[in-house]
Structure 1
Amino acid sequence: MTQKQLSEINYSVLDLAPITEGGGPAESYKNTIDLARYAEDLGFTRYWLAEHHSMPFIASSATSVLIGHVASHTNTIRVGSGGIMLPNHAPLMVAEQFGTLETLYPGRIDLGLGRAPGTDQVTAHALRRGSGSSGHNFPQQLDELRGYFHDGLRSGNSHVRAIPGEGLDIPIWLLGSSGFSAQLAGQLGLPFAFASHFSPNETLPALQLYRDSFEPSEVLQEPYAMVGVNVVAAKNNEQAEFLSTSLKQQFINLIRNTNLPLQPPVESMDTIWTHQEEALLQQKLGSSIIGGPEKVKDELQSFLDRTEADEMMVISQIYNHKDRLNSYKILADITK
């Protein structure tokens, strides 16, 4: 089989709407719109936002609201969720929200779904209070949600309808960081997105499971796999390594359960992390690509060779907004 080249696949953006040290959500949303418009101009395929809660460095907790905001300020790029954490919500409400988005912005909305809470267990309890949902019934919730979009498939309850939503063709993606959603996506014939950006060691097994489990459906005749990847690109390797220390500090703070906004870059991480934390970070960020244009291009091609992905969704957690824009510009240039 001929290996895919970088110019032969699609590229998209996952925006975690970072709240930076010294900034706030309002600045984050302004930067999100700026990046979305820039990504559209650069030719990126889709722009996704992720559901996280109770995290002082992420401003996308009301994900569907922010998706609508981005869609209203762009023209052609697909906008969606990477993802909506379905166990946090009643499937009917998700169907209504995304039915509304698709009605307002026809042909531009994606619904990516995950089964993790997107937060800590205490916050998850606050989100799911009284719902009895722990993520174990994700397949049943997914079936109910899909039913609201299709006539006659509402779990036998014809009295409950998603309006707007019913009859709309909204692409549903399953997201995962392990094999569970990979297998489910394959069995249902749905597109699958894997979180390589924080679960690199599980990437290849999950993609193989997805492809082995795949059964053709009305949605897809062949598997379609997207992989998330952290990319920090700059004019040279040294500058990129410097900018990447913001991402590394973020993961260290997660490991320590220290909730802080995204921190400015530092000259060295040696005074910040322990040897054990450094080793753990290498596992979590093992597939991250950091460097100047030539290094990023080589490592992206190597990553594509290993994963045989159909699309890459790029996350660039960079403190300075202009540096983040530049990173995506470099990516667009080297993948043409």
Structure 2
Amino acid sequence: MTAFSILDLVRVTVDGDARAALDNARDLATHAERWGYRRFWVAEHHNMPGIASAATAVVIGHIAAGTSTLRVGAGGIMLPNHSPMVVAEQFGTLARLFPGRIDLGLGRAPGTDQATFRALRRTYADAERFPQDVLELQAYFQPVQPGQTLQAVPAAGVEVPLWILGSSTFGAHLAAELGLPYAFASHFAPDQLMEALHVYRGRFKPSAALQRPHAMAGINVIAADSDADARRLATTQQMSFTNIFRGARGLSLPPIDDIETYWSPAEKAQAQRMLARSVVGGPDTVRAGLSAFIEETGVDEVMVVSDIFDPILRLRSFELIAGLGLDGGAAPAV
């Protein structure tokens, strides 16, 4: 049966700050654990004032410390930005602190703009090394071998499931070849979702990590007590995407009554294309939309993004989703 998980954007709002965003993320995770969600992931974004999860491993530690059974992880770490050894050290440490609960999703994009990419002291040649870096990272988590001189302490011998993330078929090919679980970012890049899932499942090679393919897909879900309430709450995310198109990476804005007064026709078309994999509405609408998404994709796991300005209403959204009875309760494969 399909499992449900959460990708939290750790949004900084116009009436809050980074500390409030981090504490809201931890509070959401404590509720998510009680409501039966499988995982709680945060992502690496840089030079974005509205997202407080740039130091992703630190944020994961903050959230994991507030929960006890929920898997917490990165969705993901942008591997071209980092040395594989440093990533292994960080996540090996997290896994020692929170055994059996840490996930490591790996992405190939820099997660930022070109100027920030250079400030991170990386080059685009690093992105081309992504497959080799994944293999290097895997090796650091293996038990230390006799005569081994290079170790990522304390990662050796620690169980940290690696996921390959993607928004195209590149990651699908790599995840299939390496026999790793695969997560597709259809919550903002939906165009190649079905093709990527087909590639992943068709080319999957069993590995020591995973015997059968395990696919996850992202979807935006704004749930409220009525369709009208949900549509209004969704304007926060719609404005955020519009502002990205305008080159204005600001803070999260409160919802407005009429989104048509905010975006141009061209911005609307672009935002709607990127947000095509979204379900917005009351419980019945959300149940129908999620059921259709699961039936169409056949994914093992759904990663829900609920980008709502008010943290109380965001909690309500995730509570409504959890209460729909769509999670069959089967243990996740990874």
TM range (shorter): over 0.9
* SS of the residue 1:175 aligns to: strand
Once the two structures are superposed, residues 181-214 of structure 1 have per-residue CA deviations (whole angstroms, 9 ceiling, x without a partner) of 1110001110000001011121101111111110
TM-score, with length taken from structure 1? 0.95
Alpha-carbon distance, 1:153 to partner:
8.2
* Whole-Å separation in 1 of the counterparts to 2:94 and 2:14: 32
* SS of the residue 1:289 aligns to: strand
* Whole-Å separation in 2 of the counterparts to 1:153 and 1:176: 32
Match of 1:286 among 272, 276, 298: 276
Give the partner amino acid of 2:128.
Answer: H
Report the counterpart of residue 2 of structure 2 in structure 1. 9
Give the partner amino acid of 1:258.
Answer: A
Match of 1:332 among 319, 322, 333: 322
Report the counterpart of residue 42 of structure 1 in structure 2. 35
Alpha-carbon distance, 1:133 to partner:
4.1
Report the counterpart of residue 141 of structure 1 in structure 2. 133
Once the two structures are superposed, residues 134-170 of structure 1 have per-residue CA deviations (whole angstroms, 9 ceiling, x without a partner) of 411100111111111114689xx93210110001121
Q: How does 1:293-312 map to 2 (within 5 A)?
A: 293-312=283-302
Alpha-carbon distance, 1:283 to partner:
0.8
Contact 1:147–1:153 (8 Å) recurs in 2:
no
Match of 1:246 among 223, 236, 259: 236
Contact 2:169–2:195 (8 Å) recurs in 1:
yes
Give the partner amino acid of 1:119.
Answer: T
Pair 67,219 (structure 1): closer, same or farther in 2 beyond 3 Å = same
The runs of at least 4 consecutive aligned structure 1 residues that moved more than 4 Å come to none
Contact 1:87–1:128 (8 Å) recurs in 2:
no
* Whole-Å separation in 1 of the counterparts to 2:261 and 2:31: 36
Contact 2:44–2:78 (8 Å) recurs in 1:
yes
* Whole-Å separation in 2 of the counterparts to 1:13 and 1:101: 19
Alpha-carbon distance, 1:272 to partner:
1.0
In the alignment, does 2:255 pair up with 1:262? no
Match of 1:230 among 204, 210, 220: 220
Q: How does 1:106-255 map to 2 (within 5 A)?
A: 106-129=99-122, 133-151=125-143, 158-255=148-245
* Whole-Å separation in 1 of the counterparts to 2:166 and 2:33: 26
Contact 2:144–2:156 (8 Å) recurs in 1:
no
Once the two structures are superposed, residues 307-336 of structure 1 have per-residue CA deviations (whole angstroms, 9 ceiling, x without a partner) of 100000101110000010000000000135
* SS of the residue 1:67 aligns to: helix
Pair 82,153 (structure 1): closer, same or farther in 2 beyond 3 Å = farther
Report the counterpart of residue 63 of structure 1 in structure 2. 56
* Whole-Å separation in 2 of the counterparts to 1:77 and 1:30: 17
TM-score, with length taken from structure 2? 0.95
- Identical-pair percentage: 48
Alpha-carbon distance, 1:259 to partner:
1.6
**What are structure 1's unaligned runs of at least 5 residues?**
1-7
Contact 1:196–1:203 (8 Å) recurs in 2:
yes
* Whole-Å separation in 2 of the counterparts to 1:312 and 1:101: 24
**What are structure 2's unaligned runs of at least 5 residues?**
327-334
* SS of the residue 2:128 aligns to: coil
Pair 153,173 (structure 1): closer, same or farther in 2 beyond 3 Å = farther
Once the two structures are superposed, residues 38-63 of structure 1 have per-residue CA deviations (whole angstroms, 9 ceiling, x without a partner) of 00010100110100001011000000
In the alignment, does 2:66 pair up with 1:73? yes
Alpha-carbon distance, 1:128 to partner:
2.7
* Whole-Å separation in 2 of the counterparts to 1:65 and 1:233: 29
Contact 2:144–2:151 (8 Å) recurs in 1:
no
Please tell me the root mean square deviation across aligned C-alpha atoms, in Å: 1.4
* Whole-Å separation in 2 of the counterparts to 1:254 and 1:40: 32
In the alignment, does 2:310 pair up with 1:320? yes
Report the counterpart of residue 5 of structure 1 in structure 2. none
Alpha-carbon distance, 1:132 to partner:
6.6
* SS of the residue 1:204 aligns to: helix
Report the counterpart of residue 30 of structure 1 in structure 2. 23
